[in-house]
Amino acid sequence: MSEEVFLKLEGVKKSFGGVHALKGVDLEIRKGEIHCLAGENGCGKSTLIKAISGVHHPDEGSIWIDGEKVENMKPMDAINRGIQVIYQDFAVFPNLTVAENIALNGELKNKSKFVNWKQIHEVAAKAMEQVGADIDPDIKLERLSVANKQMVAICRAIINDAKLLILDEPTTALTAREVDKLWDIVRALKEKGIAIMIVNHKLDEIYRIADRLTILRNGTYISSGDISEYDQARFTKDMTGRDIVETKYTPEESGEEVLRVEHLSRKGAFEDVSFTLHKGDVLGITGLLGSGRGEIGEALFGIAPAESGKIFLNGKEIEIKSVKDAMTNEIGYVPEDRLTQGLFMEKSIQDNVIAASIRKYMKGGKLDEKEMEDTTNHWIKEIEIKAPSPKPAVRTLSGGNAQKVVIAKWLNTNPKLFILDGPTVGVDIGAKAEIHEILHGLAKKGVGIIIISDDLPELVQNCNKIVVMRDGKLSGSMDNSIDERTLGNILVGATKGGAKE
């Protein structure tokens, strides 16, 4: 085995109660490289990480670390061999300070009987200096941003002599600027000879950071190679097992108006916003954080109503002063944070699907359980939610399937207008395409569809009309003949948007 290889897996298999999570996976990670591990939700990425870090023991296959074959490795053995994993929750202690989070593991590892606070601060300062972090060492973690908590987790890893750093979906909750800073840190660690494995399914990010790529699908190794060997078509095919052709959504022309907004304003949020949505349209609303894009959706759904202006739905003026008003007018809304606002994670798929329309299942003072189950089964089949029945808790589903449950909840109310804020955030490429297909189908049936997003490819490919918000005002309106680069320039004000209806 080449000296430059730090980690090698051959034919690794792992099953849980008859379910094959890994079906003979190969993986090779070299010293001083950035290697991305990609695959749709449920493909086995998490199980593989746990096999590498000693949490799970493979049923079959071999693992070599730094040229040595290892067996029955425990998590502490993996740490001692230089393997550090930073999961999405970072495994930090919110009630401890930055310095304590960074350095206390080392104190425990060295079995120190007394805490040397001076040394803890020195260790923390040295680690933060290595990654260019400027964080108060005495501040408690609970007061930090997500990006800074992640920075602390990385500092802790490198002072524990990391030779392989595994980052699990590290950009999920970061802004674009924070992602840039993270990649700068990752590249600096690479230059020091540390092997980096990043779990990610966003091709644009993978292209920016990865040297090599490995793709899993349904627990099976599919392919591995230099990032230059993967274009969009191959990446999508290897991830999903099928060709997903990306085309721009262009509906048939229709003069039939679904929604018209005139001079909508709410102080401190948005001002004098007007646009029209016709039958067949998928309207995109975009803008930078704080532009007012999300607040428009909240106003139309009555969460934070507009203070002035007019709203017309199917030609009739309506008033929306509350969520109840919006639902009475048959408006559905998928919030940006589906986990805390859109779903009851511990409840079943069925409970979630009927949550917004429960009254229609009330028969003689009792809920019609059979009709609720039949309805849920209909939506599971109709929008292809991958679930064995209506009974499992939503928390057991992948991100894409959980998002489909939120969509099913509102489709079950027969909405005339359907607003979705960040509809495919955290959703893998296959489910993303399926969700877009659902929305296009609804638009063609006459449902007004609004997608609020800062995902420029999503907007350009799936919205035939796009409006751009900046500083609470409508700064441009265009059709989808625009390209992503121009749209991005309009977003930041480098280019002015031309109005098009």
Q: Answer yes or no: do 366 and 422 share one domain.
A: no
* DSSP letter for each residue of 419-440: EEESTTTT--HHHHHHHHHHHH
Task: Assess whether 386 and 453 both reside in one domain.
Answer: no
Single-letter residue type at 244: I
Strand order in the sheet with 220-226: 83-86, 164-168, 195-199, 34-38, 212-217, 220-226
- Domain-located, residue 439: no
pTM for this prediction: 0.65
Say whether both 155 and 38 belong to one domain.
Answer: yes
- Residue 434 placed within a domain: no
Domain boundary among the residues 207, 240, 273 is at: 240
- Measured in degrees and rounded to the nearest 5, phi and psi for residue 120 equal -60, -45
Same domain for 199 and 317, yes or no, is no
Q: Does 367 lie in the same domain as 423?
A: no
In a domain, 436, yes or no: no
Provide the number of structural domains found in the chain: 3
**Alpha carbons 26 and 40: distance in angstroms, whole number:** 17
CATH of the domain at 13: 3.40.50.300
Tell me which of 190, 216, 240 is where a domain ends: 240
Dihedral through CA 201, CA 203, CA 205, CA 206, nearest 10?
A: 80
Is residue 204 one of the residues assigned to a domain? yes
Distant-in-sequence, close-in-space partners of 146: CB < 8 Å, separation ≥ 6: 173, 174, 178
Q: At which residue do the structure tokens 């009927």 appear?
A: 354
- Same domain as 398, residue 272: no
One pLDDT digit (tens) per residue for the chain, 501 residues: 445 999 999 999 999 887 889 999 999 999 999 999 998 777 889 899 999 999 999 999 999 999 999 998 999 999 999 999 998 777 888 899 999 888 876 655 555 556 677 888 888 888 888 888 889 989 998 898 888 888 898 998 888 788 999 999 888 767 778 888 899 999 999 999 999 999 987 777 888 999 999 999 989 999 999 999 998 888 888 988 877 666 788 888 778 899 999 999 999 999 999 999 999 999 999 998 788 999 999 999 999 999 999 999 999 999 999 999 999 999 999 887 766 677 888 899 999 999 998 888 888 888 889 999 999 999 999 888 888 899 988 888 877 788 889 999 999 999 999 999 988 876 777 778 888 999 999 999 999 999 999 888 889 889 999 999 989 999 888 887 888 778 877 877 645 555 444
Location of structure tokens 């040297």: 211
Whether residues 397 and 365 fall in one domain? yes
Same domain, 218 and 191: yes
Domain shared by 339 and 217, yes or no = no
Look at residue 29 and tell me if it is in a domain.
Answer: yes
DSSP 252-274: PP---EEEEEEEEEETTTEEEEE
The answer to whether 299 touches 266, Cβ cutoff 8 Å, is yes
Q: Are 48 and 128 within one domain?
A: yes
Clarify whether residues 94 and 61 are in a common domain. yes
Query: Which residues constitute the domain of residue 172?
Result: 5-240
386-409 as b/e, with b when 16 or more CB fall inside 10 Å?
ebeebeeebeebbbbbbbbbbbbb
Residue after which a domain boundary falls, among 240, 263, 295: 240
475: in domain: yes
Residue 256 domain-assigned?
yes
**Angle value at C-alpha 56, between 53 and 60, nearest 5 degrees:** 110
Q: Which candidate, 388, 385, 387, 386, places its Cα nearest to that of 404? A: 385
Does residue 341 lie in a domain region? yes
Distance CA 387, CA 312 (A): 38
Going from the C-alpha of 18 to that of each of 22, 198, 398, the distances in angstroms are 12, 29, 20
Contact between 448 and 470 (Cβ < 8 Å): no
Together in a domain, 279 and 174: no
